[in-house]
Each structure stands twice: as C-alpha cells, then as structure tokens.
Amino acid sequence: MSKISLPRYEELKKLLLINAGIANILPSECRTLSDRVYKKNGNRISETTFKRIYGFAYSKYSPSLFTLNVLARFCNYKGWEDFCEKQDQKAIAVPTKELNWRLIQQSANKITGFTLQALKNKSGIPYNQTIDREFIDYHFDEFIASGCTGTVLAAPAGYGKTIALCQWIEKKQAVDALNDVNDTILLFSSNAIMSVLVSGRDIHDWMLALLGHHTDNDINVLLDIKQRRNNKFYLIIDGFDEHMFKGDHFRIILNQLVDIFSFYQNHDWFKLVLTTRTATWINNRHEFELAENSWYTGFKKNGNCINVPLFSLQEIKLLCHQIKPGVENFISLNVVENFNHPLYFQFYYQQHKDNFLQHDIDHLSFYETISTFILKKVYLGQYSAEKMLLIKGLVEELGIENDNYQINTVKVSNLIKKYPHAYQELLAVGFVREINESSDFQLNTYIVFGNDEFMEHSIAKTLLYDNGNLLDNDLIKNINKLLVASPRKVNVLKWSIIHGIKTGQLKNIESITGAHLSMNEKSDIITFLGEVLEGEHSSANQNEALIQYFKHSFSEKLFDYFFGLELINSNYKKFLQVLLKFELSNKKKTLIHTTLAIIATIQLDLNELEISLEKLKALPKAEYEIFPVNPLNCLDAIYYHLKYGIIKTEALTDLTRLYFNTGGGLINLKKSATNDMLFLLGLHTLLLSNNPRKLLRFIKFLDRNYRNELLDNYASQYGFFVQTIEANAYFELGELDKVSEIYYSISSALKKSNNLLTSYMKIVFHSLKIKIIINTPKQNQVAAEMKHINNIAAEFGYKFDKLYIIAILLKSPTLQSSMPELFKQANNDFDKITRENGLNSKLFLQTITIKK
C-alpha cells in the first residue's frame, strides 16, 4: 500500500489509546504501549515506532502495512483493511447533518490550541509578559472590511510577527465566545506543513482530514450556507518562509496553497492568513496575486513590503511595565532608539533577566545585544567557519565605495554553492535576505544583509580580518578610504573599537584620531568610547591589560583630539568622568574639571559648578601658571555672578592685562584644543563686563597672536564660537549689519556640510539667527527658531543658552505687541528657569541694551 488514508489512520491512533486505557499519551508511555500490544498480539512494535506514530520523534515515512495490521488487531479488528471497511460503513450510516460546522470548529480549535501553545513556548520573552501590538487589530479590521480572501504579515526576522498573531487569535477567540460568533480558526506552523510534504500528502486533504471528516463531506459542509451562516473560516500558516524547506519542498507547498486559495477565493467566508519574511513575500507574491484585490497587504507606499512596525514608545513602556512594573517611567530616549526592534529587546531581556533596566541602557548595551545575537546565531553551532568565510565573501562584493549594499546573486552563486549549508543557516536566522525584483525584461535578484547592524558588523570584521585583526593606523586608513563619506563609517569604527578593547589592544585606541570624522561623528565616537571604557572598568572580570591601562595617564593624543567646547553635552560629561579614573597629571585634571564646570554652567547646575570649583581649588596654584587663561579665576567669577550677582574683577583684570601685553612671550601661542577651550572661556567671562568693545579687543588680540578665525582653517569649531561671540558684541552695540554679515558667513559655510554642527553649536547658531531677525520684518520667524532651541535645550540641558536668548526676546520693544503668545510663553519660561535654578532674573534682563 503506497498511500494510507489519513483520516482512518488518525481514527486508529485514537482508538488504540482508548483500548490501551491511555487518556493523554506521553513519550514515557510509548514503552508501556509497546508491551501491551506485544502481550495481546504477540507482535512487537518498538517504542521508537510508537514515538514516531504519536509525533514524539521525526518520521520520514508513513507506517508500514505490518504496523497498521498489528495496531488494528489490538483494537479487535482482523487487520488494517477490515478496520477501514468498518469505518467506511459507519460513515455511510452517519447522517450528513452531523458533519456540521460546529464539529469542524471543535476539531480546528484543538489543533489551533496545540499550535498556539507551541508558538507561545518559543517566545523569547515569557508570553505572559508580552503585550498586544497596536497595529494587529487595525490590520485585521481592514483586512475583513476589504473583502479580500488573503492577507499577509510580512517583515524581516525578529519583528514579532508570530507573537502578535498569537495575541490576535486569543483575543478573537475570547470576543467570539462572548458574542456567540462561530468563526473557525485553523492555525498551523511551517513545521507542521513540512511534515505533510514529507509524508507525501496533499495539504488540502490533510487539513480536512485533521478536522475529522472525509474530504467530500467536509467541503459540502463548508459550502453549506445554512450550516455555516455568516461564520468565517481562517486558515492561518505561521512562518511560511523559503528557508524552512529544503530543495523543491517550498515550491510544492506553495503550489498547493495557491490551489487552495484559488478554490476558495470567491467565497467570502474563507480567509487565508500567512506570516512570512519580507524577502519571501517579495520573491513569491506573483504566485498569490491571481486576481485583482484578492490580497490585503497594508504595505506603505515606500514599497518595502513591511507591515509589522517596530515598537512604539508606548509599546516599549508597556512591555517594560509587564516585565518590571514601575520601570516604564524611567525609560530614556536611547532605549526607544536602540531597542524598538523586538528581537533586540528580546536579547537584551535574556541577558538582563535578573537586573532588567536597573542601569541606564547606553550605546554599549545595544552593541553587546547585537554581539550576543551574532554569537548565538552565527558563530556557534554547525558550519561556523563556513559562515564566517561566506560573510567575508559577501562583504567583498558590496559596493561600499559607492554606498551600494546590494549583492548581485549571480556574482556570488559560486560562493553560495561552496557553502550551501552556511548560506541556508544565515537565511534562517535573518542575517541575510534574498530579494527578487525581476521585471519582464531583466533578471534582478540580489542579497542584502538582514539589517544595517549586521552589515556594519560584517564590514568591520572583514576589515579587521584583512588587517590581521589589529586596531591600528592601517585599519583606520582603510576605513577612511573605503567609507569616505559613508554614514556607515562611525558604526564600523565603533565595532573596531569594541574589538580592540575586548582583545586587549588598549594602547592602539589612539589610532582612531586618524579617522576622518565630522564634529558630530567625533562627538558620537567620544560618547561610545566613554561607555565602552566605563563598562570595562566596572566589569568584575577586568584583565591585567585593562588594569594596567587605567593605571597610566590617558593618551595625550586622544585627550587633545576629544577636547572642545563644541562637544559639550551630558554624554561628554560622562566621558570626562571616565577619564578621571585614569592616573592623570594635574594639568589634565585641571582641564577636565574646568570642562565639567563649564557643562554645569551651561546646564545652570550651580551645585555641580561649586563641586568642580572645589576640585580646581584643591589643585596646586602653580598648575594654573602654565595656562594663558586662568580657568579657576574665570569660572569663579561666573559662579559668583550667577549665585550672588557679584562680579569678581580678578578674572576680568587678568584678561585685560593679557590682551594689552605685547611681549613676545604670548606671540604664536601653540594652537591646540586645550588653548581653544581656555580662550573661549576667557571670551565668555568677558561678557560679565557688559563692555562689548572690550570683548572685540580681546578677539583682535587672539586674531593677531593665536588664531585668526577667518583665515585659519585648522579648527572651524573654534572660529564658529569666536564669530558668534563677536556677533553678540556687535548686537549689544546695535551694529546689526555686522551681526547679519557674520550670520550669513557662517550659514554659507554650513551649506557645504550638512553634518557640521554639534548639538551645542546648533543652539548657539539658532540664537544668532534670532538676534538678526528679532527687530525686523522677519520677526515672525522667531517662533520657529525658538522651537529648535527649546527642543535642543530639552534634550541636552542647555538651560543657560535658552535663558540668555529668552532674555533678548523679553527686551525686544516690539515682540509683546507683534507676537503676544510667543512673548507670554517666553516670559513663563524665563520665570520657570530662574525660579527652579535659584537665579536672580535681573542679572539677565539688565545686561542687554538693544540700540537702534
């Protein structure tokens, strides 16, 4: 017998358990069942065979006729043929009305319940802690309203398709029970579908047989309007993806599903639902789209074939609450940005079950999560070496220089043939995807990495491999050459930094100073380096190389590279605090505490400013003699002015003496980031004098003896700040033409580079623009500029700069009458900031005199 009747086989299995007195068979009872059959029949059916029969072990073939005869005789039949004949006679005697919709529904519920439980048990986060996704109800509501026969949930691996589907099915079943709706849901996983193919069965016949009835009768019931009424039948297949099947198996199953879809597509009660990866849908959608409007997809117009969104902020908060109630109110923006991908959130949870969100999630946490995924899914298991070689080969085919990250399938066909098993595994975990966008006239199939993180990691690892796994100047040169203006450069550099630190190449970190980075990119790298060093320093598993690294002073080259007013923000503050863990010279300690004091001033945190001043005062006074500007005197003057409204003149006297000094000792001062910072601190201190002409004299002194901000191309950030301070002096003098000239000069330079300004430079630039439009016919643009300032200040804590520009608005003679709402908001914000930070409002309002 080449093919058995599946319905009869399922009936015999049930009857066998009844005769053996087993209600719910377990793997351990297969041996008992084997013994009972042997005692009654004298024929031995092995324990392993019973495990295959009841699904506890993989079965490639259908049971033999000998096995079927033995089982039938145990159930008091002469054999398999006698059993089938008797069951056929019973079926003829059963009235057709008993084969009703309700019985189909009951059978389907059993199968769906089993599949749901299996899928829920695979959830990376305990299923009872998962959340209902916002999109899923809307998607199915739109699908039903559309009248389409089929729908698909399509997204790359790890977007949470399966869990969202399980949540929807459970909700629908609960709502249907309350409203006496008898819709039938039959849910299968791709594993179940694969087993059908292996057994040589047809999916349609198998599906109906599992419902407990003959094919012909069941189709009649399904088509019987009187029995079915307005109820719907949902056939749902989860994880229908090409990588799940070997050889031509996927194509065979696909054809059978298309046949089922074709048969039922004109019946509004039948609904086919698939969850699949985006690449599978793109490659095979032409097979399903048999008629117009037969499929509801819900894809956006951008054509990316993804209708399962990443987590929203509200969903992340709710999920965090499910895992650890109360923590959702302390979620920072970087959690949303880095962990809105369900897969990454899942891996973070698995790494931190016992200390979930006890500490801030930083950039390093995100990269460690990606590393864990790659370790578990790529480096471990079978074919790990082959996977590494395949990934390297794919990277070498990327058009990185041209920012082209699609790999022509034809070009790498030999590579794939060389490592077929590795390729299938990378497809299975979503590390790479296949895309087929061929048209009538052109073959267009290509491979892409599963996401940007996987690709950037692979590029970094390939460059490191080609460079002997060394983080050095040669590697940085290769990164500069390959990723000249690529947005991937920073992240490739981050992976290289992680590799260098994790492999003990700590002394080589200073090689990153050779990377060609914009100021924003440099700020990003500083933040990341600080987090990696802090993470390694705090680790309980410090190695000797790391211990020795922190016992030495931080690299002079790195220190100067990562030092500047333009880099100031909360993350830069953390970086500086990490530097204090090194054995530093008093000079570096002075500079770090000076910068921390400047950050505290900008954030109007007078307590932190006072702490930094105490640290500076504890250092030997002789340390300050090596600096052209005494930072302690400057910061002390600023502190007393903010705290008490007192101007200590010592700092102003020193600065005045400095620019009147024409001796050769100050000529051609060494140009450095340190001196940039100190001279800019001096310029800001001179603002206390309320004498813009004195400020302009100091700027001219710097032009002659240090840098000329218009002629020197060394550090545009220094020139930017000097010019904005100069513009402020002209603003106070009422020379608005010169303010405009400076603004448009800076604006013209910015057009050449969209990524030139850091966050702190942006708030200064928007403030400068307000100064040129505040008392002009363009005053209506002030609101838009203030919106930018408010957003930047809120994110980075730049309270001083916000307060300063608000004071200018309040001093405007026309703003209150021309824009009363903006004036009212500015006044409220001014009162709030001064009150919350214990400041005297008169300090800001009396120092500005606008001259026409």
What is the C-alpha separation between 321 and 339, in angstroms, rounded? Answer: 15
pLDDT higher than 80, residue 182: yes
Say which amino acid occupies 781.
Answer: Q
Measured CA to CA, the distance from residue 321 to residue 531 in angstroms comes to: 26
Mode of pairing for the β-strands spanning 445-449 and 432-436: antiparallel
pLDDT 10s digits, 247-283: 677 888 888 888 888 888 888 888 999 999 888 888 8
The per-residue pLDDT for 831 is: 92
Summarised one tens digit per residue, pLDDT across range 767-798 is 999 999 987 888 889 999 999 999 999 988 99
Write down the pLDDT at residue 18. Answer: 82
First to last CA, the chain: 104
**Which of 291-295, 399-403, 510-514 holds the top average pLDDT?**
510-514
Alpha helices in 734-781 (DSSP H): 736-750, 759-773
Least confident of 198-207, 503-512, 810-819: 198-207
Q: What percent of the chain has pLDDT over 90?
A: 29
List Cα–Cα distances, 346 to 102, 425, 427, 732, 753, in angstroms. 39, 20, 20, 56, 38
Give me the pLDDT at residue 396, please.
92
Protein fold of 101-296: Rossmann fold (3.40.50)
Count other Cβ atoms within 10 Å, centred on residue 420.
Answer: 12
Residues 6+ apart with CB under 8 A from 819: 779, 780, 782, 783
pLDDT tier at 644 (50, 70, 90 boundaries)?
confident
SS3 (DSSP) at 160: coil
- Contacts of residue 95, Cβ cutoff 8 Å, sequence gap at least 6: none
Q: If you average pLDDT over residues 201-226, what whole number do you get?
A: 58
Q: Which of 566-575, 653-662, 727-736 has the lowest mean pLDDT?
A: 653-662
Mean of the pLDDT values across residues 377-406?
88
Does residue 495 register a pLDDT over 90? yes
Torsion over CA of 806, 699, 672 and 509, rounded to 10 degrees?
A: 20
Q: Give the model's pLDDT for residue 339.
A: 74
Check whether 203 has a pLDDT greater than 80: no
| 67-95 pLDDT tens trace | 888 888 988 888 888 888 887 776 555 44
pLDDT tens digit string along 598-614? 999 999 999 999 999 99
Whether residue 490 has pLDDT greater than 90: yes
Torsion of CA 482, 484, 490, 491, to 10 degrees: -40
In sequence order, the β-bridge partners of residue 188 are: 237
Query: What average pLDDT score do residues 330-347 get?
Result: 70
In the predicted structure, residue 301 carries a pLDDT above the cut 80: no
Going from N- to C-terminal start, the domains of the chain cover 6-93, 101-296, 313-361, 377-565
pLDDT-derived band at 496 (thresholds 50, 70, 90) equals very high
- The residues, ordered by sequence, that sit 6+ positions from 590 with a Cβ below 8 Å of its Cβ are 616, 619, 623, 624, 627, 631
Whether 651 contacts 634, CB under 8 Å: yes
Share of the chain above pLDDT 70, in %: 85
Per-residue tokens: 248:
């031509």
Residue 14: predicted pLDDT: 79
User: Which stretch of 10-24, 37-51, 99-113, 645-659 has the lowest confidence by average pLDDT?
Assistant: 99-113
Q: Which residue has the higher pLDDT, 586 or 223?
A: 586
Packing angle of the helix pair 203-210, 215-223 (nearest 10 deg): 80
Q: If you average pLDDT over residues 821-830, what whole number do you get? A: 92
Q: Phi and psi (nearest 5°) for 560?
A: -70, -35
The yes-or-no verdict on residue 143 having pLDDT over 80 is yes
| Burial class of residue 653, CB neighbours in 10 A (0-12, 13-18, 19+) | exposed
Q: Report pLDDT for 247.
A: 67
What is the predicted pLDDT for the residue at 424?
82
Kindly state the helix (H) or strand (E) to which residue 448 belongs, with its residue range: strand 445-449
**pLDDT (0 to 100) of residue 799:** 93
Tell me the C-alpha distance between 106 and 120, whole Å.
21
What is the pLDDT at residue 107? 77
Q: pLDDT digits over 719-761, tens only? A: 889 999 999 999 999 999 999 999 988 888 777 665 678 899 9
Q: Burial, 42: exposed, middle or buried (Cβ in 10 Å; 0-12, 13-18, 19+)?
A: exposed
Answer whether residue 224 shows pLDDT above 60. Answer: no
Give the mean model confidence (pLDDT) for residues 175-184. Answer: 84
